[in-house]
Structure 1
């Protein structure tokens, strides 16, 4: 089969289309013919040599796919050849086929085109787990989402609104802010022109955010704590602008607030299975009735994966870029 492999790592790391052996599903796995694969910032980090795959995962990138089951491995029940699915992967999605644990499969939503459905698994699992399981977001609370125009952000806006939360989100430029508003954000903040702490306080009548979901990292750490309401929860899921920052512990303590950092890819299989099961129970009905939908910026042929990475790095993407074999 064909797969997009990493021919060189580092800042100038390159992707190449290669021919490799077909994967074989092991116990508890299924083989999926890939219809499309989502492109994520984690893939850019892997290409740069900064985010190695977990033990046992393929060496090539790709954390989410949609497609049809080609073969069911031993020990798998509840799935059949021909089933249309989406999958959360440990890696290897940039390919014609992928073997994946059956516990990380979800039925492809009937209301969504199968190719566009590839934009869902990683984003939805990340958004739900960190907003609700970790962040404890509840109806009526304020949530501040950084990177509202990204793959996770566009889904997180919709999930938070479906839960009855009030959503503020940052985005770069008035056009992207307006697109976030179209997805349901109550307050959009152009971080290029506005101080997000002041804008959030104004929107929340001075209270601040009960939950902050952050993809930026160290550069926003101090301001994120300032933005929190009393009892607020800061959940850091990305490090796009720095890994090390100073934390004002007195400010954190005064607000009785918490800071949590999480990742998804490196977690044990049982934890990933639990996240997928929760998403199937709680978020899949939101997709079925139209409250949540994938946001796809563009589709790119698998052979042009390097162009897809360049596009994501440009900062001009709204939603997801998909690779189509």
Structure 2
């Protein structure tokens, strides 16, 4: 099968190169998927640069989500059959023609969605559900503040929060992205380049939950923005991970600061999340309420171009590799 490898194990986008490897084999409890589309995520860039290695036992090939057809079913798998259209959360291996995955980590592709649309769902939907709804406890009638609102995670968070009956305050950079966040459903869409974010968020009533992908530069803003009992959920730290916090303010507001990664969770925990996502989020996907936009697609052999496009930061939504 064709795969994308990283020359020397890490490096710039130019280090990505097509290669051939033997097809994987589905063992008991696994299925092999013929990949039609693979979502590209920022952790892929980190892995390429040598700072986010795959967990033990995972493929060294990049790619955390795919959509395709079930090609082989391992012993003991009863839900899935050859030919089923599925998308899946992976620990790695998505930048390839075929991938083997724990059968418990698959979801059916709803009618009306093509493989490209389905490929952008697992990593972002799982991340938002685990962090915003489980760790952050977002409920209908509450307000979610999203930083980086036009990223793959951001656009998915806007749609999921709105589907759950929450109010969304979105921050992004530039008039085009601000307009895009508003079009996706954000109730308040702020331009981090020109708006007084603290004043505008306060005028909007503050936030019950903050989904933070920025880190250090927005720490003070988040402390101001959160209402009493608010939850600050960190899933990335693009501006830096070292932050100085006034704990007295945390105590006085009764705030919760939490964060997580998805890739390193156990297979059993990912299976639990898959079932929860199918029960809670998949009805929103089926109804069309959650359909993260795709900025562009690239054939598998042009993975380097896709990485460069993601690094440029001018996108709304996600990039996808196609077979």
Query: Post-superposition shift, 1:115?
Result: 2.1
What's 1:7 paired with? 7
What's 1:281 paired with? 279
With structure 2 as the length reference, what TM-score do the two structures score? 0.97
What's 2:133 paired with? 132
Runs of 4+ in 1 over 6 A off after TM superposition: none
**Is 109-118 or 254-263 further displaced after alignment?**
109-118
With structure 1 as the length reference, what TM-score do the two structures score? 0.97
8 Å contact 2:131–2:259 — kept in the other structure?
Answer: no
Distance 1:234 1:119 in 2: 25
8 Å contact 2:168–2:186 — kept in the other structure?
Answer: yes
What's 2:43 paired with? 42
Distance 2:42 2:163 in 1: 26
- Out of 187, 205, 209, the residue aligned to residue 211 of structure 1 is 209
What's 1:88 paired with? 89
8 Å contact 1:13–1:47 — kept in the other structure?
Answer: no
Distance 2:174 2:168 in 1: 18
What's 2:252 paired with? 254
What's 1:200 paired with? 201
CA spacing shift, 1:13–1:50, aligned 2, 3 Å: farther
Distance 1:69 1:98 in 2: 10
Structure 1, unpaired ranges of 5+: none
CA shift digits 1:128-182 (9 cap, x unpaired): 1111111000111111011110111111101100111000011111111111111
Query: Post-superposition shift, 1:192?
Result: 1.1
What's 1:52 paired with? 53
**Is 237-246 or 309-318 further displaced after alignment?**
237-246
- Out of 311, 316, 320, the residue aligned to residue 318 of structure 1 is 316
8 Å contact 2:117–2:291 — kept in the other structure?
Answer: no
**Residue 300 of structure 2 corresponds to residue 302 of structure 1:** yes
Distance 1:216 1:310 in 2: 20
What's 1:156 paired with? 157
3-state DSSP class of the match of 1:70?
strand
CA shift digits 1:88-129 (9 cap, x unpaired): 000010000000001110001212112221011111111111
Query: Post-superposition shift, 1:195?
Result: 3.0
Distance 2:137 2:14 in 1: 38
User: Pairwise CA RMSD of aligned residues?
Assistant: 1.1
Query: Post-superposition shift, 1:188?
Result: 0.4
Query: Post-superposition shift, 1:248?
Result: 1.4
3-state DSSP class of the match of 1:128?
helix
